[in-house]
């Protein structure tokens, strides 16, 4: 008798493994492996989360109306075109479920966020991986990969783990050149960290075109990764399709309450951004001073490249940092075996990190 078999594509998925958070024999671990918020969440979000404990026996509002209203107010958007999810990951998955299936193709770039390929395979579609140029998405390479079977294009802007981005004009030219029936998904997980004047989250494209979706998360600058909260914005017709597929109570009540308080506390976001900008500048300068190549400077992480000379490989750097209690992220599975992704942490964590990297490179 034949045993149950998963659908085609499922067993081709490489299991996603999150950043490590423990080291054996180390009492103080400095976790710089998952791009979590250096300053943690807004105290107002924590208070709102705690305040939700009086009604844990109640189902959450299925439409997340208050949260959508708060997001709409802060970002000046139409609340009817917002969908909330259990992390923005859920929205990315819903997009694949709604628009792709067996025989269809889903484009993402060579060093793009891993979940795009995973969600494409989960619906039986084929991920099409296009080359990047200087670890940066390349519009002409994306367009060259389009076939009649292409249904979705995923672009993290800025991208994790490369820290590189495409300027507004390039994203607009991509949208303009893509077929109209192809959904362009702009994953803006790190948008709030951006300063570059030529950068745009893509919300204006999502507003003005019938085939562009932007996703945002509360896991990065908002520091609410534990609650699993994200949102997407796009044409009403697309949001309608996703709404039909999501679980009816996909965002918990404590997450909704915390999300409302978090998005309204833009002062905290400003503080977190300033902390990040300060350390990004210092870290890039120090790493480059050690002879390391660092290309991208976007987001809340750096991606130094280790050239392997005199044994200074990414693997050796990772092992050395771990011996000091510091956890970075190996990115071999992103096709970047010579790089380490290191999240910008708190002040004391960054001092310790930079001292450790200095010791590693000069010993």
Ligand X SMILES: *Cc1c(COP(=O)(O)O)cnc(C)c1O
* Of 6-14, 64-72, 213-221, 280-288: span binding ligand X (CB under 6 A): 213-221
Q: CB of residue 190 vs ligand X: minimum separation in angstroms?
A: 7
* Of 10-18, 82-90, 273-281, 308-316: span binding ligand X (CB under 6 A): 82-90
Q: Are 219 and 87 in contact (CB under 8 A)?
A: yes
Say whether residue 60 binds ligand X (CB under 6 A): no
Distant-in-sequence, close-in-space partners of 107: CB < 8 Å, separation ≥ 6: 127, 128, 130, 142, 145, 146, 150, 152, 153, 154
CA triple 111-115-120, angle to 5 deg: 105
Task: For residue 25, give the DSSP letter.
Answer: T
Q: Which is nearer to ligand X, 33 or 150 (CB)?
A: 33
Say whether residue 223 binds ligand X (CB under 6 A): no
Task: For residue 333, give the DSSP letter.
Answer: G
Say whether residue 225 binds ligand X (CB under 6 A): yes
Q: Report 17-46 residues binding ligand X (CB under 6 A).
A: 35
Q: CB of residue 123 vs ligand X: minimum separation in angstroms?
A: 18
Q: Which is nearer to ligand X, 214 or 352 (CB)?
A: 214
* Of 81-89, 100-108, 323-331, 355-363: span binding ligand X (CB under 6 A): 81-89
Q: Which of 96, 130, 156, 206 forms a contact with ligand X (CB under 6 A)?
A: 156
Render 277-318 in DSSP notation, one character per residue. HHHHHHHHHHHHHTT-B-----SSEE-PBP--GGG--HHHHH
Q: Which two tokens stand for residue 324?
A: 């000091």
Task: For residue 39, give the DSSP letter.
Answer: T
Q: Which is nearer to ligand X, 163 or 361 (CB)?
A: 163
Q: State how far the Cα of 195 lies from the Cα of 328, in Å rounded to an integer.
A: 25
Q: State how far the Cα of 317 lies from the Cα of 138, in Å rounded to an integer.
A: 30
Q: Report 86-145 residues binding ligand X (CB under 6 A).
A: 87-89, 113
Query: Which residue's Cβ has the minimum distance to ligand X?
Result: 87
Say whether residue 192 binds ligand X (CB under 6 A): no
Q: Which is nearer to ligand X, 100 or 251 (CB)?
A: 251
By three-state DSSP, how is residue 61 classified?
coil
Under the rule (CB under 6 A), what is the footprint of ligand X? 35, 87-89, 113, 156, 160, 187, 189, 217, 219-220, 225, 230
């Amino acid at each position: 008798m034949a045993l149950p078999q998963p659908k085609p594509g499922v067993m081709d998925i490489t299991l996603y493994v999150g950043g490590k958070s423990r080291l054996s024999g180390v009492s103080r671990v400095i976790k710089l492996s998952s791009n979590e918020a250096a300053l943690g969440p807004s105290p107002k979000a924590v208070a709102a989360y705690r305040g939700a404990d009086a009604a844990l026996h109640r189902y959450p509002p299925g439409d997340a109306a208050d949260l959508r209203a708060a997001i709409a107010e802060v970002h000046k958007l139409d609340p009817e075109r917002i969908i909330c999810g259990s992390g923005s990951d859920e929205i990315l998955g819903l997009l694949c479920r709604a628009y792709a299936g067996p025989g269809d193709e889903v484009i993402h770039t060579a060093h793009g966020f891993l979940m795009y390929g995973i969600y494409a395979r989960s619906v039986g579609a084929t991920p099409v991986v296009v080359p990047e140029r200087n670890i940066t998405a390349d519009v002409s390479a994306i367009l060259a990969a389009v076939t009649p079977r292409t249904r979705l294009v995923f672009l993290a802007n800025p991208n994790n783990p490369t820290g590189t981005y495409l300027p507004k004009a390039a994203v607009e030219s991509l949208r303009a050149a893509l077929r109209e029936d192809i959904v362009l998904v702009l994953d803006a997980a790190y948008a709030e960290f951006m300063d570059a004047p030529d950068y745009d989250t893509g919300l204006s494209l999502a507003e003005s075109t019938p085939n562009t979706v932007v996703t945002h998360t509360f896991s990065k600058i908002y520091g609410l990764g534990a609650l699993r909260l994200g949102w997407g914005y796009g044409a009403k017709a697309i949001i309608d399709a996703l709404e039909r597929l999501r679980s009816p109570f996909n965002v918990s009540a404590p997450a909704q309450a915390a999300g409302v308080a978090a998005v309204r506390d833009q002062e905290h976001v400003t503080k977190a951004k300033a902390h990040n900008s300060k350390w990004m500048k210092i870290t890039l300068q120090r790493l480059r001073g050690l002879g390391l190549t660092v290309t991208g400077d976007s987001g809340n992480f750096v991606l130094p490249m280790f050239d392997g000379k005199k044994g200074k490989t990414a693997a050796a750097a990772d092992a050395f940092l771990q011996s000091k209690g510091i956890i970075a992220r190996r990115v071999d599975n992103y096709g970047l075996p010579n790089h380490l992704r290191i999240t910008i942490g708190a002040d004391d964590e960054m001092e310790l990190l930079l001292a450790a990297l200095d010791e590693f490179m000069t010993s």
